[in-house]
Amino acid sequence: MRKWRLPAALRTLIAIKPKQKLTAQYLLSLLIAVTLAFLVGAGIMLLCGYDPLICYAALFKGALGKPRAIGNTLAKTATLCLTGLAMSVAAKSGIFNVGGEGQLYFGGIAAAVVGARMAGAPDWIIIGCALLAALLAGGAYAWVPGILKVKLKVDEVVTTILLNSAAIYFCAYLANGPLKTTERGISSGTDSVAASFSPLIKLSNLNGSVFVAIIATLLIWYLMTRSTTGFEMKITGTNRRFADYGGIRADRLMMVGMVLSGMLCGLVGMIEVFGIHKRFITNLSNEYYFDGMLVAMIMRYQPMGVILMSFFFAVLNIGGSAMELSAGISSEVILIVQSVIIFFMAAQGGIRQSLHAYTVKRRVRRAHAREVRT
Protein backbone atom coordinates (compact mmCIF):
# COMPACT_ATOMS: atom_id res chain seq x y z
CA MET A 1 0.00 0.00 0.00
CA ARG A 2 1.32 3.38 -0.94
CA LYS A 3 1.81 5.57 2.07
CA TRP A 4 -0.07 8.82 2.22
CA ARG A 5 2.30 11.75 2.33
CA LEU A 6 1.94 15.42 2.95
CA PRO A 7 2.39 17.67 -0.08
CA ALA A 8 5.96 18.83 -0.52
CA ALA A 9 5.26 22.45 0.36
CA LEU A 10 3.70 21.51 3.66
CA ARG A 11 6.53 19.10 4.42
CA THR A 12 9.16 21.77 3.99
CA LEU A 13 7.13 24.08 6.20
CA ILE A 14 7.03 21.49 8.97
CA ALA A 15 10.71 20.72 8.70
CA ILE A 16 11.86 24.27 9.38
CA LYS A 17 14.58 24.72 11.99
CA PRO A 18 13.67 25.25 15.66
CA LYS A 19 13.99 29.02 15.83
CA GLN A 20 11.75 29.62 12.86
CA LYS A 21 9.56 26.68 13.69
CA LEU A 22 7.20 28.52 16.00
CA THR A 23 6.15 31.20 13.56
CA ALA A 24 6.12 28.80 10.65
CA GLN A 25 3.96 26.29 12.46
CA TYR A 26 1.78 29.10 13.65
CA LEU A 27 1.20 30.38 10.14
CA LEU A 28 0.64 26.88 8.85
CA SER A 29 -1.93 26.09 11.50
CA LEU A 30 -3.69 29.36 10.77
CA LEU A 31 -3.72 28.50 7.09
CA ILE A 32 -5.14 25.05 7.77
CA ALA A 33 -7.78 26.51 10.08
CA VAL A 34 -8.91 29.05 7.49
CA THR A 35 -8.95 26.49 4.69
CA LEU A 36 -10.94 23.99 6.73
CA ALA A 37 -13.33 26.71 7.79
CA PHE A 38 -14.02 27.82 4.26
CA LEU A 39 -14.33 24.22 3.06
CA VAL A 40 -16.89 23.32 5.71
CA GLY A 41 -18.66 26.60 5.05
CA ALA A 42 -18.75 25.70 1.34
CA GLY A 43 -20.23 22.32 2.20
CA ILE A 44 -23.03 23.96 4.14
CA MET A 45 -23.76 26.32 1.25
CA LEU A 46 -23.88 23.41 -1.18
CA LEU A 47 -26.29 21.59 1.12
CA CYS A 48 -28.52 24.65 1.17
CA GLY A 49 -28.38 24.86 -2.60
CA TYR A 50 -26.02 27.78 -3.12
CA ASP A 51 -22.85 27.96 -5.18
CA PRO A 52 -20.01 28.50 -2.70
CA LEU A 53 -17.73 30.17 -5.23
CA ILE A 54 -20.28 32.85 -5.98
CA CYS A 55 -21.04 33.27 -2.32
CA TYR A 56 -17.41 33.64 -1.25
CA ALA A 57 -16.78 36.03 -4.11
CA ALA A 58 -19.73 38.06 -2.86
CA LEU A 59 -18.32 37.95 0.66
CA PHE A 60 -14.95 39.38 -0.26
CA LYS A 61 -16.37 41.81 -2.76
CA GLY A 62 -18.83 42.96 -0.14
CA ALA A 63 -16.07 43.56 2.37
CA LEU A 64 -13.26 44.85 0.16
CA GLY A 65 -14.70 45.45 -3.31
CA LYS A 66 -15.51 49.15 -3.18
CA PRO A 67 -14.00 52.09 -1.30
CA ARG A 68 -17.18 52.32 0.68
CA ALA A 69 -17.00 48.66 1.63
CA ILE A 70 -13.37 49.02 2.64
CA GLY A 71 -14.32 52.00 4.77
CA ASN A 72 -16.99 50.02 6.60
CA THR A 73 -14.65 47.10 7.11
CA LEU A 74 -11.93 49.32 8.55
CA ALA A 75 -14.39 51.06 10.86
CA LYS A 76 -15.57 47.67 12.08
CA THR A 77 -11.95 46.58 12.53
CA ALA A 78 -11.34 49.60 14.75
CA THR A 79 -14.31 48.77 16.99
CA LEU A 80 -13.35 45.11 17.31
CA CYS A 81 -9.75 46.01 17.90
CA LEU A 82 -10.50 48.47 20.71
CA THR A 83 -12.93 46.15 22.47
CA GLY A 84 -10.62 43.17 21.93
CA LEU A 85 -7.71 45.07 23.44
CA ALA A 86 -9.93 46.20 26.30
CA MET A 87 -10.59 42.57 27.13
CA SER A 88 -6.92 41.67 26.67
CA VAL A 89 -5.40 44.38 28.84
CA ALA A 90 -7.62 43.41 31.76
CA ALA A 91 -7.28 39.67 31.28
CA LYS A 92 -3.49 39.91 31.02
CA SER A 93 -3.44 41.65 34.39
CA GLY A 94 -5.49 38.84 35.86
CA ILE A 95 -8.94 40.42 35.94
CA PHE A 96 -11.78 39.43 33.67
CA ASN A 97 -13.85 42.35 32.42
CA VAL A 98 -17.16 41.13 31.06
CA GLY A 99 -18.73 44.53 31.66
CA GLY A 100 -17.38 46.34 28.60
CA GLU A 101 -20.86 46.80 27.21
CA GLY A 102 -21.92 48.89 30.21
CA GLN A 103 -18.71 50.89 30.16
CA LEU A 104 -19.30 51.54 26.47
CA TYR A 105 -22.79 52.91 27.14
CA PHE A 106 -21.57 55.14 29.95
CA GLY A 107 -18.75 56.45 27.79
CA GLY A 108 -21.23 57.10 25.00
CA ILE A 109 -23.74 58.98 27.09
CA ALA A 110 -21.07 61.05 28.85
CA ALA A 111 -19.62 62.04 25.49
CA ALA A 112 -23.07 62.85 24.11
CA VAL A 113 -23.94 65.10 27.04
CA VAL A 114 -20.65 66.97 26.82
CA GLY A 115 -20.96 67.24 23.05
CA ALA A 116 -24.46 68.70 23.22
CA ARG A 117 -23.85 71.09 26.11
CA MET A 118 -20.68 72.60 24.65
CA ALA A 119 -22.30 73.89 21.47
CA GLY A 120 -20.49 77.01 20.30
CA ALA A 121 -17.00 75.96 21.28
CA PRO A 122 -14.47 75.07 18.56
CA ASP A 123 -14.94 71.56 17.21
CA TRP A 124 -11.61 70.19 18.40
CA ILE A 125 -12.26 71.39 21.94
CA ILE A 126 -15.67 69.73 21.95
CA ILE A 127 -14.24 66.48 20.65
CA GLY A 128 -11.35 66.66 23.09
CA CYS A 129 -13.62 67.26 26.07
CA ALA A 130 -16.06 64.55 24.97
CA LEU A 131 -13.15 62.15 24.63
CA LEU A 132 -12.02 62.93 28.16
CA ALA A 133 -15.55 62.56 29.48
CA ALA A 134 -15.95 59.17 27.79
CA LEU A 135 -12.62 57.90 29.10
CA LEU A 136 -13.51 59.07 32.61
CA ALA A 137 -17.00 57.60 32.54
CA GLY A 138 -15.90 54.24 31.12
CA GLY A 139 -12.91 54.05 33.46
CA ALA A 140 -14.95 54.98 36.52
CA TYR A 141 -17.56 52.37 35.73
CA ALA A 142 -14.83 49.72 35.50
CA TRP A 143 -13.20 50.96 38.69
CA VAL A 144 -16.19 49.81 40.75
CA PRO A 145 -15.98 46.05 40.04
CA GLY A 146 -12.19 46.38 40.08
CA ILE A 147 -12.02 47.74 43.60
CA LEU A 148 -14.61 45.20 44.77
CA LYS A 149 -12.43 42.42 43.42
CA VAL A 150 -9.16 43.74 44.81
CA LYS A 151 -10.33 44.82 48.25
CA LEU A 152 -13.23 42.50 49.01
CA LYS A 153 -12.51 39.55 46.68
CA VAL A 154 -15.93 39.88 45.02
CA ASP A 155 -15.87 37.90 41.79
CA GLU A 156 -15.49 40.40 38.96
CA VAL A 157 -17.20 38.23 36.34
CA VAL A 158 -20.46 38.33 38.27
CA THR A 159 -20.30 42.03 39.12
CA THR A 160 -19.36 43.16 35.63
CA ILE A 161 -22.14 41.13 34.00
CA LEU A 162 -24.69 42.58 36.41
CA LEU A 163 -23.38 46.10 35.98
CA ASN A 164 -23.88 45.75 32.23
CA SER A 165 -27.65 45.69 32.54
CA ALA A 166 -27.60 48.42 35.13
CA ALA A 167 -25.70 50.71 32.78
CA ILE A 168 -27.68 49.89 29.65
CA TYR A 169 -31.05 50.47 31.30
CA PHE A 170 -29.90 53.53 33.21
CA CYS A 171 -28.70 55.09 29.98
CA ALA A 172 -31.96 54.12 28.27
CA TYR A 173 -33.84 55.83 31.07
CA LEU A 174 -31.77 58.98 30.63
CA ALA A 175 -32.23 59.00 26.87
CA ASN A 176 -35.98 58.52 27.20
CA GLY A 177 -36.39 60.80 30.19
CA PRO A 178 -34.29 63.65 31.53
CA LEU A 179 -32.01 63.85 28.52
CA LYS A 180 -34.57 63.13 25.81
CA THR A 181 -34.13 65.32 22.77
CA THR A 182 -36.80 67.73 21.66
CA GLU A 183 -35.90 67.25 18.01
CA ARG A 184 -38.56 65.66 15.92
CA GLY A 185 -38.30 62.19 14.44
CA ILE A 186 -36.00 60.86 17.14
CA SER A 187 -37.81 58.40 19.35
CA SER A 188 -35.25 57.68 21.99
CA GLY A 189 -32.02 59.62 21.97
CA THR A 190 -30.26 62.63 23.41
CA ASP A 191 -29.73 66.00 21.75
CA SER A 192 -27.38 65.84 18.80
CA VAL A 193 -23.78 66.70 19.48
CA ALA A 194 -22.34 69.97 18.27
CA ALA A 195 -19.33 68.50 16.54
CA SER A 196 -18.49 65.17 14.96
CA PHE A 197 -15.75 63.22 13.26
CA SER A 198 -15.71 63.95 9.56
CA PRO A 199 -16.14 60.98 7.25
CA LEU A 200 -13.03 59.81 5.41
CA ILE A 201 -14.76 57.80 2.70
CA LYS A 202 -18.10 58.88 1.35
CA LEU A 203 -21.18 56.99 2.59
CA SER A 204 -19.06 54.69 4.74
CA ASN A 205 -18.70 54.47 8.51
CA LEU A 206 -15.02 55.32 8.32
CA ASN A 207 -14.33 58.70 9.84
CA GLY A 208 -11.70 60.72 11.70
CA SER A 209 -12.21 58.62 14.83
CA VAL A 210 -10.09 55.94 13.23
CA PHE A 211 -7.00 58.00 14.04
CA VAL A 212 -8.00 58.11 17.68
CA ALA A 213 -8.47 54.34 17.54
CA ILE A 214 -5.05 53.85 15.96
CA ILE A 215 -3.37 55.96 18.64
CA ALA A 216 -5.17 54.09 21.42
CA THR A 217 -4.27 50.75 19.83
CA LEU A 218 -0.61 51.67 19.56
CA LEU A 219 -0.51 52.89 23.16
CA ILE A 220 -2.07 49.69 24.50
CA TRP A 221 0.17 47.55 22.31
CA TYR A 222 3.21 49.41 23.66
CA LEU A 223 2.01 49.14 27.23
CA MET A 224 1.33 45.43 27.00
CA THR A 225 4.36 44.28 25.07
CA ARG A 226 7.12 46.82 25.56
CA SER A 227 6.73 48.55 28.90
CA THR A 228 7.87 47.78 32.41
CA THR A 229 4.28 48.06 33.59
CA GLY A 230 3.27 45.49 30.96
CA PHE A 231 5.91 43.14 32.35
CA GLU A 232 4.49 43.54 35.83
CA MET A 233 0.96 43.07 34.50
CA LYS A 234 1.93 39.79 32.89
CA ILE A 235 3.47 38.51 36.12
CA THR A 236 0.37 39.55 38.06
CA GLY A 237 -1.93 37.97 35.51
CA THR A 238 -0.13 34.63 35.51
CA ASN A 239 0.28 34.33 39.28
CA ARG A 240 -0.99 37.02 41.62
CA ARG A 241 0.49 35.43 44.71
CA PHE A 242 3.89 35.27 43.07
CA ALA A 243 3.63 38.93 42.08
CA ASP A 244 2.88 39.95 45.66
CA TYR A 245 5.72 37.81 46.91
CA GLY A 246 8.10 39.33 44.38
CA GLY A 247 7.29 42.88 45.49
CA ILE A 248 4.97 43.82 42.64
CA ARG A 249 1.90 45.78 43.67
CA ALA A 250 -0.50 43.29 42.17
CA ASP A 251 -3.66 45.01 43.41
CA ARG A 252 -2.71 48.27 41.84
CA LEU A 253 -1.83 46.65 38.51
CA MET A 254 -5.12 44.82 38.36
CA MET A 255 -6.87 48.12 38.93
CA VAL A 256 -4.81 49.74 36.16
CA GLY A 257 -5.74 46.93 33.77
CA MET A 258 -9.41 47.13 34.67
CA VAL A 259 -9.65 50.92 34.44
CA LEU A 260 -7.78 50.97 31.12
CA SER A 261 -10.18 48.35 29.85
CA GLY A 262 -13.13 50.50 30.90
CA MET A 263 -11.57 53.56 29.28
CA LEU A 264 -11.17 51.76 25.95
CA CYS A 265 -14.81 50.70 26.09
CA GLY A 266 -15.82 54.27 26.93
CA LEU A 267 -13.81 55.36 23.92
CA VAL A 268 -15.74 52.97 21.66
CA GLY A 269 -18.97 54.48 22.98
CA MET A 270 -17.72 57.97 22.22
CA ILE A 271 -16.66 56.95 18.71
CA GLU A 272 -20.11 55.50 18.02
CA VAL A 273 -21.74 58.74 19.19
CA PHE A 274 -19.42 61.19 17.48
CA GLY A 275 -18.73 59.13 14.39
CA ILE A 276 -22.01 57.54 13.44
CA HIS A 277 -25.17 58.45 15.32
CA LYS A 278 -24.23 62.04 16.21
CA ARG A 279 -26.17 61.52 19.43
CA PHE A 280 -26.64 58.89 22.13
CA ILE A 281 -29.27 56.34 21.16
CA THR A 282 -30.58 53.55 23.35
CA ASN A 283 -29.25 50.76 21.16
CA LEU A 284 -25.83 52.28 20.78
CA SER A 285 -23.98 48.99 20.70
CA ASN A 286 -24.98 45.70 19.20
CA GLU A 287 -22.97 43.64 21.72
CA TYR A 288 -19.76 45.02 20.24
CA TYR A 289 -17.86 44.21 23.40
CA PHE A 290 -18.75 40.53 23.25
CA ASP A 291 -17.45 40.32 19.69
CA GLY A 292 -14.24 41.92 20.92
CA MET A 293 -14.05 39.45 23.79
CA LEU A 294 -14.32 36.58 21.34
CA VAL A 295 -11.48 37.98 19.23
CA ALA A 296 -9.35 38.49 22.33
CA MET A 297 -9.95 35.01 23.65
CA ILE A 298 -9.25 33.32 20.33
CA MET A 299 -5.96 35.18 20.10
CA ARG A 300 -5.19 34.46 23.78
CA TYR A 301 -4.95 38.18 24.62
CA GLN A 302 -1.93 38.82 22.39
CA PRO A 303 -2.23 42.44 21.22
CA MET A 304 -0.80 41.89 17.74
CA GLY A 305 -2.99 38.86 17.19
CA VAL A 306 -6.05 40.78 18.32
CA ILE A 307 -5.30 43.55 15.83
CA LEU A 308 -4.97 41.12 12.91
CA MET A 309 -7.91 38.96 13.90
CA SER A 310 -10.11 42.05 14.23
CA PHE A 311 -9.60 42.72 10.55
CA PHE A 312 -10.52 39.14 9.63
CA PHE A 313 -13.67 39.30 11.73
CA ALA A 314 -14.61 42.64 10.22
CA VAL A 315 -14.33 41.17 6.72
CA LEU A 316 -16.63 38.32 7.72
CA ASN A 317 -19.07 40.68 9.34
CA ILE A 318 -19.30 43.33 6.65
CA GLY A 319 -18.93 40.84 3.79
CA GLY A 320 -21.61 38.66 5.32
CA SER A 321 -24.25 41.35 5.20
CA ALA A 322 -23.27 42.22 1.63
CA MET A 323 -23.45 38.56 0.65
CA GLU A 324 -27.03 38.43 1.78
CA LEU A 325 -27.94 41.28 -0.55
CA SER A 326 -25.88 40.42 -3.62
CA ALA A 327 -25.88 36.60 -3.67
CA GLY A 328 -29.33 36.21 -2.21
CA ILE A 329 -28.35 33.77 0.52
CA SER A 330 -30.51 33.77 3.58
CA SER A 331 -28.86 35.47 6.53
CA GLU A 332 -29.18 32.30 8.65
CA VAL A 333 -26.86 30.38 6.33
CA ILE A 334 -24.39 33.23 6.48
CA LEU A 335 -24.51 33.17 10.26
CA ILE A 336 -23.89 29.43 10.26
CA VAL A 337 -20.92 29.80 7.92
CA GLN A 338 -19.54 32.63 10.05
CA SER A 339 -19.88 30.56 13.19
CA VAL A 340 -18.13 27.62 11.54
CA ILE A 341 -15.27 29.85 10.47
CA ILE A 342 -14.96 31.33 13.96
CA PHE A 343 -15.07 27.82 15.39
CA PHE A 344 -12.12 26.76 13.27
CA MET A 345 -10.18 29.88 14.11
CA ALA A 346 -10.64 29.03 17.76
CA ALA A 347 -9.51 25.46 17.09
CA GLN A 348 -6.32 26.74 15.52
CA GLY A 349 -4.39 26.28 18.78
CA GLY A 350 -5.31 22.60 18.77
CA ILE A 351 -4.31 22.23 15.16
CA ARG A 352 -0.92 23.67 15.97
CA GLN A 353 -0.47 21.20 18.81
CA SER A 354 -1.27 18.19 16.68
CA LEU A 355 1.10 19.50 14.02
CA HIS A 356 3.77 19.67 16.65
CA ALA A 357 3.06 16.18 17.93
CA TYR A 358 3.25 14.92 14.37
CA THR A 359 6.68 16.48 13.74
CA VAL A 360 7.99 15.12 17.01
CA LYS A 361 6.82 11.63 16.29
CA ARG A 362 8.29 11.73 12.82
CA ARG A 363 11.63 12.96 14.10
CA VAL A 364 11.84 10.19 16.70
CA ARG A 365 10.94 7.54 14.12
CA ARG A 366 13.57 8.84 11.77
CA ALA A 367 16.22 8.94 14.49
CA HIS A 368 15.27 5.42 15.44
CA ALA A 369 15.46 4.18 11.89
CA ARG A 370 18.91 5.71 11.56
CA GLU A 371 20.07 3.89 14.67
CA VAL A 372 18.75 0.56 13.49
CA ARG A 373 20.63 0.98 10.20
CA THR A 374 23.95 1.67 11.89
Partner 1 sequence: MADSSPIVRFDHVSVRYPGALANDDVSLAIRRGEAFALVGENGAGKTTLMNVLYGLTRPTLGTVTIKGEAISARHDPMRAMAMGVGMVHQHFKLVPSFTVAQNIALGSEPVKNLVFYDHKKINSEVLALGKRFGLPVNPDDIVDDLSVGLQQRVEILKALHRGADILVLDEPTAVLSPGESDELFEVLRGIVLKQGMTVILITHKLHEVMQFSDRVGVMKQGRLEGIVNTAETDEHKLAAMMVGREVLFDELRTGRPTDREVLQLKDLRAQDDRGLPAVKGIDLTVHAGEIVGVCGVEGNGQTELTECIMGMRPQTGGEVYLSGQNISRLSPRQIRARGVSYIPADRMRTGLSAEATVMENLLVGKQRQKEFSRFGIQFRKRRANAYARELSEVFDIRAGGIDIPMKSLSGGNMQKAVIAREFSFDTPVLIINQPTRGVDIGAIEFIHEKILQKRAAGCAILLVSADLDELFRLSDRLVTLFEGQLTGQFQNGAIGKQEISYYMTGGRQEVQA
Question: What mask, x for binding partner 1 by CB under 8 A, covers residues 199 to 218?
Answer: --------------------
Q: Specify the residue, 223 or 329, whose C-beta has the smaller distance to partner 1.
A: 223
301: left (phi over 0), alpha (psi -120 to 50) or beta: left
Size of the chain, expressed as the number of residues it contains: 374
CA 45 – CA 58 distance, rounded (Å): 13
Return the residue of 227, 283, 330, 354 that touches partner 1, per CB under 8 A. Answer: 227
Q: Under the criterion CB under 8 A, does residue 300 sit at the interface with partner 1?
A: no
Q: Under the criterion CB under 8 A, does residue 364 sit at the interface with partner 1?
A: yes
Considering only the stretches 5-13, 98-106, 259-267, 359-367, report the one whose residues sit in contact with partner 1 under the rule CB under 8 A: 359-367
CA 155 – CA 97 distance, rounded (Å): 11
Question: What mask, x for binding partner 1 by CB under 8 A, covers residues 230 to 249?
Answer: xxx-xx--xx-xxxxxxxxx
Q: At a CB cut-off of 8 Å and minimum separation 6, what does 90 contact? A: 96, 97, 142, 257, 258, 260, 261
Return the residue of 11, 151, 363, 366 that touches partner 1, per CB under 8 A. Answer: 363
Q: Specify the residue, 125 or 367, whose C-beta has the smaller distance to partner 1.
A: 367
Count, residues near partner 1 per rule CB under 8 A: 27
Residues 119-158 that bind partner 1 (CB under 8 A): none
For residues 258 and 52, the answer to whether their CB atoms sit within 8 Å is no
CA 42 – CA 61 distance, rounded (Å): 17
Q: Specify the residue, 16 or 248, whose C-beta has the smaller distance to partner 1.
A: 248
Closest to 115 (Cα-Cα) out of 281, 270, 267: 270
**Considering the complex, what minimum distance in angstroms separates the CB of residue 239 from partner 1?**
4
Q: Under the criterion CB under 8 A, does residue 358 sit at the interface with partner 1?
A: no
CA 213 – CA 277 distance, rounded (Å): 17
Considering only the stretches 58-66, 76-84, 276-284, 357-365, report the one whose residues sit in contact with partner 1 under the rule CB under 8 A: 357-365
Return the residue of 11, 151, 365, 366 that touches partner 1, per CB under 8 A. Answer: 365
Distances (CA, A) of 122 to 79, 198, 271: 26, 14, 18
Going 53 to 55 to 60 to 62, the CA torsion angle's sign is: positive
Tell me, rounded to whole angstroms, the distance of Cα 58 from its chain centroid.
24
Closest to 257 (Cα-Cα) out of 82, 77, 103, 85: 85
Question: What mask, x for binding partner 1 by CB under 8 A, covers residues 242 to 281?
Answer: xxxxxxxx--------------------------------
- Where on the chain is the footprint of partner 1 (CB under 8 A)? 226-232, 234-235, 238-239, 241-249, 356, 360-361, 363-365, 368
